C-alpha cells in the first residue's frame, strides 16, 4: 500500500499515522502511554519511550535508512538464521527479514496501548535463498510496557528449521557501569574467546551480575530466564522477560569493534547494550508442516527509586 492507503486503512487520528522518511515508510505512534516509531522496512521498531521516561531503544545517528540495508539499533527482526549463514549456502548476515518490506495487517488502540501487526511471506528474494514455505506475523503492543511477539508458521510439506532473534539495542547511560542479572549459572558460547580450531569457547556465567569490561559477544543457551539491566547512570532498570525462547544474547562492540562499524560511530558503544531474545545454535527451532511457533519479549521500565521502594 502507498502512504495514503495505509492511513486510510490503518491510521488512527492523533494516535497512528504513516509517513515517508528517507525513502522508507514508517508508522509514527503517540498515545498517552508511550511514543514509538516502526518502519515497514524490516518491521523495525526504532523508538519506544513510555510517557515520562527517557527513550529505551538505542538508534545509531549514523544508521543507514535505505532499501536493502539493515538499520543499526532499535529491534532488528532476525530470521531465518542468526549471524552468518552456516549451512554452506549463501545469504546475508542475520537473514533476510530485517531488510524485507513487511505488510501491515492490523492496527488498533486498546486502552492506552497501540496494537500493531505486521506480516511477511515468501518473495523472489527469499525463494532464491531456499525459503518458500513460511509465514511470519509480528505483533507489537506499544504502551508503558513493550510486548513483541514473532510467530513463524510452516506452510510447506517438510519440516522448517530456522533461527530467530529480536536483536534489541537498549539505551544505557554508560555500558561500563550497567549490569545484567538473570544469567548466572548459564552455559554460553564466548565468541570473543576461541579454541585453537576457531570455535567459540564454552563457559558458564559465574554468580553475581554481569558487568561488561570489553567487547562482548555471548550466546547463552537453554535459558528462559528474565534478565534485568541495571543502569545507575540513568537511575533505572529495564526488565526483559520472554517466552518461547531458549537463547539470550548479550552484545556490545566496545571501542575496538565499534571503530570498524561505519554505521555506529566510534563512541556510540558507551550508550548501548544488546540483550536479545532468540532461538539460535543448538536452540534452533524445527517446525513440522502446518505448525507454528511464537517467541515473545516484554520490556518494562522502573526508576531505581521505584525499585528501592518495592524492595
Peptide bond into 29 cis (omega under 30): no
Strands of the sheet containing 236-243, edge to edge, are 103-110, 113-120, 134-142, 146-154, 292-303, 236-243, 227-231, 179-181
* Residue 146 · residue 262 · CB < 8 Å: no
Q: How confident is the model at residue 306 (pLDDT cuts 50, 70, 90)?
A: low
Q: How confident is the model at residue 266 (pLDDT cuts 50, 70, 90)?
A: confident
Q: What is the reported pLDDT for 309? A: 45
Q: How confident is the model at residue 307 (pLDDT cuts 50, 70, 90)?
A: very low
Q: How far is CA 116 from the centre of its chain?
A: 16
Whole-structure pTM value: 0.95
Cα radius of gyration (the chain):
19
pLDDT, mean over the chain: 96
pLDDT > 90 in the chain, percent: 94
Write the pLDDT tens digit of every residue in 198-236. Answer: 899 999 999 999 999 999 999 999 999 999 999 999 999
Q: How confident is the model at residue 308 (pLDDT cuts 50, 70, 90)?
A: low
By annotation, the residues acting in catalysis are: 167, 276
Question: Structural domains in the chain?
Answer: 3-310 (2.70.98.10)
Amino acid at each position: 500500500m502507498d502512504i495514503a492507503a495505509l492511513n486510510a486503512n490503518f491510521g488512527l487520528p492523533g494516535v497512528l499515522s504513516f509517513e515517508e522518511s528517507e525513502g522508507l515508510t514508517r508508522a509514527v505512534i503517540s498515545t498517552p502511554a508511550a511514543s514509538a516509531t516502526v518502519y515497514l522496512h524490516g518491521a523495525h521498531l526504532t523508538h519506544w519511550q513510555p510517557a515520562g521516561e527517557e527513550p529505551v531503544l538505542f538508534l545509531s545517528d549514523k544508521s543507514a535508512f535505505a532499501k536493502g540495508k539493515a538499520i543499526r539499533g532499535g529491534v532488528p527482526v532476525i530470521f531465518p538464521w542468526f549471524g552468518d549463514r552456516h549451512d554452506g549456502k549463501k545469504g546475508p548476515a542475520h537473514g533476510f527479514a530485517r531488510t524485507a518490506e513487511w505488510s501491515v495487517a492490523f492496527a488498533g488502540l486498546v486502552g492506552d496501548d497501540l496494537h500493531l501487526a505486521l506480516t511477511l511471506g515468501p518473495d523472489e528474494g527469499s525463494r532464491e535463498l531456499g525459503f518458500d514455505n513460511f509465514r511470519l506475523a509480528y505483533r507489537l503492543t506499544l504502551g508503558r510496557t513493550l510486548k513483541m511477539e514473532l510467530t513463524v508458521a510452516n506452510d510447506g510439506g517438510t519440516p522448517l528449521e530456522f533461527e530467530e532473534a529480536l536483536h534489541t539495542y537498549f539505551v544505557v547511560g554508560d555500558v561500563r557501569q550497567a549490569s545484567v542479572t538473570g544469567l548466572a549459572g548459564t552455559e554460553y558460547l564466548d565468541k570473543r574467546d576461541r579454541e585453537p580450531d576457531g570455535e567459540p569457547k564454552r563457559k558458564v556465567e559465574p554468580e553475581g551480575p554481569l558487568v561488561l569490561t570489553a567487547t562482548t559477544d555471548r550466546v547463552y543457551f537453554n535459558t528462559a530466564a528474565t534478565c534485568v539491566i541495571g543502569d545507575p547512570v540513568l537511575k533505572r532498570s529495564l526488565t526483559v522477560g520472554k517466552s518461547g525462547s531458549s537463547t539470550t544474547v548479550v552484545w556490545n562492540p566496545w571501542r575496538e569493534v565499534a571503530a570498524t562499524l561505519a554505521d555506529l560511530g566510534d563512541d556510540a558503544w558507551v550508550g548501548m547494550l544488546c540483550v536479545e531474545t532468540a532461538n539460535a545454535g543448538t536452540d534452533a527451532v524445527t517446525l513440522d508442516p502446518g505448525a507454528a511457533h511464537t517467541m515473545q519479549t516484554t520490556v518494562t521500565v522502573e526508576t531505581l527509586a521505584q525499585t528501592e521502594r518495592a524492595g
